[in-house]
Amino acid sequence: MTAWPGSEWVFDLGNTRLKCAPLGADGRIGAVQALGHDANDFVVQLDAVLLARGRIAFIASVASSDLTAAVRDALLVRFRCVSFARTQARLGALRIAYANPAKFGVDRFLALLAAHARDATRPQLVVGVGTALTIDLLDAAGVHHGGRIAPSPTLMRDALHRAATQLPIEGGDYAEFADDTADALASGCEGAALALVERSLGEGQARLGQRPRLLLHGGGAETLARHFAGAEFAPSLVLEGLAAWARTVQA
């Protein structure tokens, strides 16, 4: 069936928000909107974004099963079909390192799919900065060499605040040697992530013989990207990958 304008959408359901975008006639994403799914009027917000009913909703979710089911039910009222993306051991040139692909988060899978579609000429280090910090190494041929998962700077600040409420949960500016507690917290939590990314870049270069291109995505990625010369900030990388996945399942 031929789709009419705005009839296909992609949805990236994370731990704190839902990002969504319509698919254009060329299969690429349009304007991206983000909704906090902890809001009481979440469904009302979703209706305001969609405006009209559609044909297919493609969704990638790393959220809880209850929240995923709630979003699925909301979308089934508005779309004829809801299709969930799943991690695959191989898709096109992309090959996942995990022996059991089901254990590899679909958000990481789709980010790698989008990264390889963007550039298949050199290795890439794909870094997601959300609730967690995820790091994955991808070579120019599309072979995934594995990765890391760590707390993001935001999660580190939250954990410190919960353990010691006198430590502010936010605020402060990055400095190599801070002279204020808020700055020291920002510098320590940010710096831990920066060090892990820098080490991964070095190890990636040692393994592949070329320093990987650094591609960052997610809500906290822009803050880290400014510390790396030549880093690329791709805030909607998972949605890009979901759009690419949708094109393959409809081919």
Where in the sequence numbering do the catalytic residues fall?
107
Neighbours of 250 (CB within 10 A): 12
Structure tokens belonging to residue 159: 């954990």
**Per-residue tokens: 127:** 């870094």
Q: Are 126 and 135 in contact (CB under 8 A)?
A: yes
